[in-house]
């Protein structure tokens, strides 16, 4: 399977993040992608740099105001003080209920809060280039599918599925799965399905397509009553307006085992088949692994072979996009197990 990967990801290397109220070393780090690349190379996969500029499709997925802020955020930050290049900026205030989000403040930290859903998505000097490289990879994979390929993989970081039209969060800045889906539609697909198997609900992907009927979004994830992102991902969220009935959430309790997880996957796959999609985008989160340090499902490495086989059984041209997975040393094996079983 051809893999797209941008070397620009290495520039996104913040030192720390907030996790459960404490400043800790980042879980989402460059080594994640390196483990995947090493395993891909060991197994003889074709790895390519992205060949498509995603700028046009990004403007249809994300708001212009958000894109302008994200692209210039680091330069704005370092311009505020001589020592800011060595300091990570974090938001400290957010426009929650009754507060306005239509006016962009002048204060940088206030603007950062306007475009953030949490304070666990740290910026660094190379964040924009890394995120843009991931989006370019997703658009490149979609072009490959449009040209007749059966499948393509995006070994991208940072991940993307928590990023909404106008906000970052959950380590995500640009929504790579949404870029792939929109690119497939732009290339002639009438209907696309997004199947998100990350431990954490893909709230950004859901919100981007929630009122659309051309993209079915199916999420299989930890129950938001106890698991991040908490405020989206419930079973009663089924779409709105023209998108009514085109969103399916399958929340599962923390500690869910492989048997129950694959039962839920079957429900999701049945819904994808009923959509009669022309192509599939898989948000391939691998933090469902039993050894993941911040997630609570119990899939073993061998279970990802079964996942790849089931995805292949859908019989759809497929773009697979790497999302979460923070047991970094095992990430490459788990990702490649999916890809090789897919075929």
Enumerate the active-site residues.
162
The β-bridge partners of 334 are: none
Q: Residue holding tokens 């997630």?
A: 295
- Region for residue 276 given its phi and psi (left: phi exceeds 0; alpha: psi -120 to 50; beta: otherwise): left
How open is the CA angle 246-252-256, to the nearest 5 degrees? 145
Between strands 318-322 and 279-284, the pairing is: parallel
Q: How many Å apart are CA 166 and CA 177, to the nearest integer?
A: 15
Hey, is 248 helix, strand or coil? Answer: strand
Q: How many Å apart are CA 126 and CA 133, to the nearest integer?
A: 11
């Amino acid at each position: 399977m051809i893999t797209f990967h941008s070397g620009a990801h290495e520039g996104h290397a913040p030192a720390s993040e907030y996790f459960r109220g404490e400043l800790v070393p980042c879980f989402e780090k460059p080594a994640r992608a390196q483990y995947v690349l090493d395993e891909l190379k060991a197994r003889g996969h074709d790895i390519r740099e992205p060949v498509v500029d995603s700028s046009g499709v990004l403007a249809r997925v994300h708001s212009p105001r958000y894109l302008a802020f994200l692209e210039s955020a680091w330069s704005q930050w370092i311009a505020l003080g001589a020592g800011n290049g060595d300091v990570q900026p974090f938001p400290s205030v957010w426009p929650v209920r009754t507060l306005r989000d239509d006016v962009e403040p002048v204060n940088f930290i206030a603007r950062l809060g306007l475009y953030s859903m949490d304070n666990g998505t740290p910026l660094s000097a190379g964040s924009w280039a890394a995120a843009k490289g991931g989006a370019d990879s997703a658009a490149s994979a979609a072009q490959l599918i449009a040209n007749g390929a059966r499948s393509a993989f995006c070994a991208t970081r940072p991940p993307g599925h928590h990023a909404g039209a106008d906000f970052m969060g959950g380590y995500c800045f640009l929504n790579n799965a949404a870029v792939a889906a929109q690119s497939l539609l732009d290339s002639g697909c009438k209907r696309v399905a997004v199947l998100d198997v990350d431990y954490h609900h893909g709230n950004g992907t859901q919100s981007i397509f929630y009122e659309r009927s051309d993209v079915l979004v199916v999420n299989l994830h930890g129950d938001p009553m106890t698991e991040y992102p908490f405020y989206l991902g419930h079973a009663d969220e089924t779409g709105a307006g023209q998108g009514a009935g085109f969103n399916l959430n399958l929340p599962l309790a923390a500690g869910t085992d492989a048997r129950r997880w694959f039962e839920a996957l079957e429900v999701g796959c049945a819904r994808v088949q009923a959509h009669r999609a022309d192509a599939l985008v898989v948000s391939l989160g691998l933090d469902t692994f039993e050894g993941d340090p911040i997630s609570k499902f119990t899939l073993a490495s061998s279970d990802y072979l079964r996942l790849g086989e089931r995805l292949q059984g859908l019989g759809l041209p497929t773009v697979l996009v790497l999302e979460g997975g923070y047991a970094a040393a095992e990430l490459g094996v788990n990702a490649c197990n999916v890809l090789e079983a897919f075929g």
